[in-house]
Chain A
Amino acid sequence: MRVGTRDTAPGARRQEEPDGTGRREEHGFIELDGVEKVFHVRRKAGRLRRVREEVRAVDGISFSVPRGAMVGYIGPNGAGKSTTVKMLTGILVPSGGRLRVAGIDPARERTRLARRVGVVFGQRTTLWWDLPLKDSYELVRRMYRVPEAAYRRNLERCVELLDLGPLLPVPVRQLSLGQRMRGDIAAALLHDPEVLYLDEPTIGLDVISKAKVRGFLREVNAERGTTVLLTTHDLTDIEQLCRRVMVIDHGRLVYDGGLDGLHAVGRSERTLVVDLERELPPIEGVPGARTVKVEGPRQWLAFPAAQSAAPVVSAVAERYPLVDLSVREPDIEDVISRMYAGSTAP
């Protein structure tokens, strides 16, 4: 079935896909089929001996993301998230499997794909360290050959939504982490990319910056239909942005579905921390919640992550002298480790 693909002439498509497998955008805008990345690491073993070790950073991953989707890609450190993103952008060449973004093989046509892709690396900036933000953007505009009108429109929009106005004349090295991150996200969107990869975009940000970044990403996805793939440590990012989440661990995809499903599979729990007026025996009789810890006037109540915190809070407030409270989200590492514990597979 080749019908149903839009926006390109059939002739051009056939050139892109000489193998004629017919798998194309009707399946997914981003398409991975058994993708692998194997590194060979040399490790010291004794005084002079080196042992060559094989590390399967990505070990046969298959998934497909339709155009315009916003997908979370999560997993513990070293699970293979960044390696996947690097293969999707063509930085790294896969060791095996098949990978297509917008019908293009990133490893072979990295520069051609680069015009259609935006990347934000949370840990390092894509901007020029010593240049004012504004000059960095100007250089991005020329490099990507963004038409003047589109550039001005996109920049204005980013400046407005990300509060960049006062930062434009500031050299990047003087920006705070949150400011720099916002600056980086704007830089990745100036050329109207069709797909945006975000590698830990909220890492180390304060609450306000996080909220700003999330709000902006939601807007971009809704307004321009930009496909977004987001790797993160912060489950709240996923909760607020993505309907679908993929979990990777040890280079394998261990979950692909809704966030609710992930919580169900991982039996994850949120924790309500309450400070009472004085020391009291463990709180009892709150539907759906159980007290897991008591420390002086402070008590911890666990309840299923899919459940709203409101009834738990009101049930406690009704019968106990409540001074303060906070809700803690489940940890990604916890959810994943419980996923393993709960699975019947060996």
Chain B
Amino acid sequence: MAEDGARAGAAVRGFGGVAVRIGEGLRAYGLIVAMWVRSTLAYRTSFLLTALGHFAATGLDFLAILLMFSHITALGGFTLPEVAFLYGTSSAALGLADLALGSMDRLGSRVRDGTMDVLLVRPVPVFAQVAADRFALRRLGRITQAALVLGWSLTRVEVAWTPGKVLLVPLMVLCGAVIFAAVFTVGAAFQFVAQDAAEVQNSFTYGGSTLLQYPPTVFAKDLVRGVTFIVPLAFVNWLPALRLLGRDDPLGLPGWVDFLGPVVAALMCGVAGLAWRTGLRNYRSTGS
């Protein structure tokens, strides 16, 4: 009995411990981000110019879509507003994840030059420090651009809006951001082992986002299967968007799959957490 009580106590402490650590992590993340924002805003003109540059650079790939549509009326059966909707949701989701954790791909170089050790001697979670490192406010440029395209597409797509469908849009973007963030994290964790793996990660995040900007019907089925079942990027926007636009998905999955976004996002977080812990543990036993 007494032993059971002790065990239960330990479990409660364990949960409390996790909660405290998450709180500590968020606090540290906030501190570091606030400092980077302050230091960015110290040079206001430079910030505005780089944000504008980011806005323009990410806008170029939408320009490509527009050019395409000046010659065709539909792409894979999707109209311009529909493609714009895919583009907006995918780009906004990636933009949010990129803003929150975008500098994580520098982890490999940190491991290589030894500055990783510096993060490990501070009394705050390493993940928070890596995530907030060089927080780049200029990435708001991508988000703004994506939001504009998304806003325009929402006024043009032919959807019979219900409260549920309206709610699905922000939920989709949010879950998409979480999925991308998890991919960022897994990629970063992988860099504990392979320090030059930043490009592999980028192909899944930035590359994945570009993929999602086009309708799934233009790609080979195997590729669509891959991003549904292996790296579940299809849940960022394809599946929920198809439901919203009233189309069938090319894989013919049951209808309820379209609503699995939050579940997939949560699962991906679990995977990312595990990968991160494994990576960090590996680093602490080998040192490099």
Contacts and interface: CB of A to CB of B under 8 A. Distances in A.
Interface of A: 39-40, 83, 86, 89-93, 95, 107, 110-112, 114-115, 117, 119, 121, 123-126, 128, 130-131, 135, 138-139, 142-144
Contacts of B28: 143
A92 B284 CA distance: 5
Given A111-B24, A114-B121, 13 more contacts: A39-B286, A40-B286, A91-B121, A92-B285, A111-B125, A121-B118, A123-B114, A124-B114, A130-B134, A138-B35, A143-B28, A143-B123, A143-B124
A144 B284 CA distance: 22
A135 B39 contact: yes
A72 to B, nearest CB: 21
A117 B287 contact: no
B118 A111 contact: no
A139 B132 CA distance: 13
Contacts of A89: 120-121
Contacts of A115: 123
Nearest to A38: B285
B52 to A, nearest CB: 21
Contact of A83 (B35, B115, B124, B287): B287
B159 interface: no
B31 A131 contact: no
B71 interface: no
A135 B35 contact: yes
A142 B120 contact: no
Contacts of A125: 118
Nearest to B134: A130
B241 interface: no
Contacts of B24: 111
Contact of B122 (A93, A135, A143): A143
B120 A143 contact: no
29 contacts: A40-B286, A83-B287, A86-B117, A89-B121, A90-B121, A91-B120, A91-B121, A92-B284, A92-B287, A93-B285, A95-B285, A107-B284, A110-B120, A111-B24, A111-B123, A112-B123, A114-B121, A114-B123, A115-B123, A121-B118, A123-B114, A124-B114, A124-B115, A126-B121, A130-B39, A131-B39, A139-B32, A139-B35, A143-B28
A142 B118 CA distance: 17
The 7 closest A-B pairs by CB, nearest first: A114-B123, A91-B120, A119-B121, A115-B123, A126-B118, A111-B123, A142-B31
A177 B38 CA distance: 26
A142 B32 CA distance: 10
B121 A117 contact: yes
Is the contact region of chain B dominated by helix, strand, or loop, or is it mixed?
A: helix
Contacts of A110: 120
Determine which residue in B31, B35, B123, B284 has the highest number of CB atoms from chain A within 10 A of its CB, and name it.
B123
B281 to A, nearest CB: 8
Contacts of A90: 120-121
A163 to B, nearest CB: 24
B222 interface: no
A93 B118 contact: no
Interface of B: 24, 28, 31-32, 35, 38-39, 113-115, 117-118, 120-125, 134, 284-287
A9 B115 CA distance: 37
A93 B121 contact: no
B284 A91 contact: yes
Contact of A114 (B39, B122, B286): B122
A124 B113 contact: yes
Given A86-B287, A115-B123, A91 B117 contact: yes
Determine which residue in B32, B121, B124 has the highest number of CB atoms from chain A within 10 A of its CB, and name it.
B121
B14 to A, nearest CB: 14
Given A123-B114, A131-B39, A135-B35, A39 B287 contact: yes
B122 A121 contact: no
A112 B31 CA distance: 19
Nearest to A117: B121
Contacts of B134: 130
A86 B117 CA distance: 8
Nearest to A184: B118
Nearest to B38: A135
A123 B117 CA distance: 12
Determine which residue in A91, A110, A121 has the highest number of CB atoms from chain B within 10 A of its CB, and name it.
A91
Contacts of A128: 35
A205 B121 CA distance: 24
B107 to A, nearest CB: 15
Nearest to A199: B117
Contacts of A121: 114, 117-118
Nearest to A131: B39
Contacts of B287: 39, 83, 86, 91-92
